[in-house]
Structure 1
Amino acid sequence: MTNPDPKPAPARPRLLRHLPLALIALVAVIGAVTLREYISFETLRENRAALLALRDSNYLALAGGFVAAYVAIVAFSLPGAAVASVTGGFLFGLGPGTALNVLSATLGAIAIFLAARAGLGQVLSARLDASEGRLGKLRDGLRQNEVSVLLLLRLVPAVPFFVANLLPALVGVRFATFAWTTALGIIPGALVFTSIGVGVGSVFDRGGEPDLSLLWAPQVIGPLLGLAALAALPIALRAWRARRGI
């Protein structure tokens, strides 16, 4: 007696895999419409005295709340990531503020990565693994230069943060590699935004707004591009060796 043909996998579990990413997209749209006016430097200006008082009375509680809020901003691609980074410097100073900013942004990025990999990432990664021809060469190139590409995505300021979180999940980047390159690659930018936050109190006292254009100043963008070029060097060397047959 032969066994009946196995039933196809139910569609519902497959759809459930896409639920986390769909939820992120939904919250991102709602947040973009409703929260833009609330997560702002004006809000920080109006509440700075209360925040400083809370920091002085319960440092750990404020630090934990800050990390939770920043993780939510990054994980759901809400507006205000730059404001959060500046706030970290304002409340906690350059060293602790940078550490909290990097930790929060990394955890939020990991949340997006895992949500994307559980859904679309599984499908696209499997297709990429099974592909040949140009797609196969692209797959092999990405795998060989995984670390360099991930660091470039973090170091080049023109790449939106959420794009640098989604793309690695969709092409099957290893989780551990994604996590440590994210934490390492965002440190230079975090230092810049945190340092702006350290002096934001005096800016508010003068009635001004934090100048985020500092990121594009030659003394800032130059070293960032230098680090990006250093990250791209292994890619260039592998391409040169491949052409020379070395």
Structure 2
Amino acid sequence: MAHIDPPKTRRHTGPLVVLIAIAIGLAVLFRDSLSFEALAENREALLAYRDAHYGLSVAIFIAAYTSIVAFSLPGATIATLTGGFLFATFPGAVFNIIGATTGACLLFLAARWGLGDWLSAKMETGSARIQRIKRGLDNNQWSMLFLMRLAPVVPFFVANLLPALLGVPFSRFVVSTAVGIIPGAVIYTSVGAGLGQVFEAGETPDLGVIFEPHILLPILGLCALAILPIFLNSRSKQDL
């Protein structure tokens, strides 16, 4: 009897299904550990371990941050604050960016191996309207990628999955992620760097700081710069 291969779509969804299953399991297992309260309760032990094993602490932290992002676990904000609390704004921001970028890349690749190729093929052979939408995305990929990273209204996991499903080149995704998350990473890492005083006062950190005018306006300015090429590209096509 001739061997019949399973449908490609079924084979391709394997990595994505595994990733989702692991994410659910980890979210249930560590639901009480990835919280501000847990960080406050264990702060002295964390600081003592960092002082005794700095290099290992950095490696463990980056690996943990990578896992949180790769599996889309709740707690990425707490992880960013922890990076600032343990390692100060700098190099804490660098460690946060490395962990977030690495985790985003792993999620991107899992989605790409799972559904990206199949969806890209569907879009290439789809209706004329679908092909026009895809061409529009292709023509403005850099701008759209940076805009998704800079705009605080776009969930991080969405900005990781959509590019994979729309056929964005991996190298372009890596660069736009690493550069685009710098403003937010530095802001929240700096908040984490001040957690010592927050803990002593028995308060909680102000995570709404990113919406304060002196912080939000520069970010909106960067968003405007990201949108500008899209506007100019649209105007140039209208003039033709």
TM-score bin, normalised by smaller chain: over 0.9
Change in CA separation of 1:64 and 1:233 when aligned onto 2, cut-off 3 Å? same
Kindly indicate whether the alpha-carbon contact (under 8 Å) linking 1:31 and 1:79 is maintained by their aligned counterparts in 2.
no
Superposition deviation, residue 38 in structure 1: 1.5
Name 1:48's counterpart in structure 2: 43
Distance 1:172 1:149 in 2: 13
Distance 1:8 1:111 in 2: 33
For the pair 1:161 / 2:167, whether they are aligned, the reply is: no
Show the 5 A alignment for 1:58-69.
58-69=53-64
Tell me which amino acid in the other structure corresponds to 1:123. Answer: W
Distance 2:157 2:141 in 1: 18
Superposition deviation, residue 221 in structure 1: 1.4
Name 2:103's counterpart in structure 1: 108
SS in 2 for 1:11: coil
Kindly indicate whether the alpha-carbon contact (under 8 Å) linking 2:39 and 2:82 is maintained by their aligned counterparts in 1.
yes
For the pair 1:145 / 2:140, whether they are aligned, the reply is: yes
Name 1:221's counterpart in structure 2: 216
Structure 1 residues 67-119: Cα deviation after superposition (integer angstroms, max 9, x where no partner): 01100100001010000000000101111100000000000000110000001
Q: Which is worse superposed, 147-156 or 217-226?
A: 217-226
Number of aligned residues: 239
Match of 2:74 among 71, 79, 82: 79
For the pair 1:118 / 2:113, whether they are aligned, the reply is: yes
- Which protein shows a greater Rg? 1
Kindly indicate whether the alpha-carbon contact (under 8 Å) linking 2:97 and 2:181 is maintained by their aligned counterparts in 1.
yes
Superposition deviation, residue 62 in structure 1: 0.3
Query: Which sections of structure 1, spanning at least 5 residues, go unmatched?
Result: 1-6
For the pair 1:234 / 2:229, whether they are aligned, the reply is: yes
Query: Which sections of structure 2, spanning at least 5 residues, go unmatched?
Result: none
Kindly indicate whether the alpha-carbon contact (under 8 Å) linking 1:86 and 1:197 is maintained by their aligned counterparts in 2.
yes
Kindly indicate whether the alpha-carbon contact (under 8 Å) linking 2:101 and 2:174 is maintained by their aligned counterparts in 1.
yes
SS in 2 for 1:242: helix
Kindly indicate whether the alpha-carbon contact (under 8 Å) linking 1:154 and 1:164 is maintained by their aligned counterparts in 2.
yes
Superposition deviation, residue 15 in structure 1: 2.9
SS in 1 for 2:40: helix
Name 1:204's counterpart in structure 2: 199
Kindly indicate whether the alpha-carbon contact (under 8 Å) linking 2:81 and 2:192 is maintained by their aligned counterparts in 1.
yes
Distance 2:7 2:133 in 1: 32
Tell me which amino acid in the other structure corresponds to 2:69. Answer: V
Match of 2:84 among 79, 89, 95: 89
Name 1:4's counterpart in structure 2: none
For the pair 1:190 / 2:223, whether they are aligned, the reply is: no
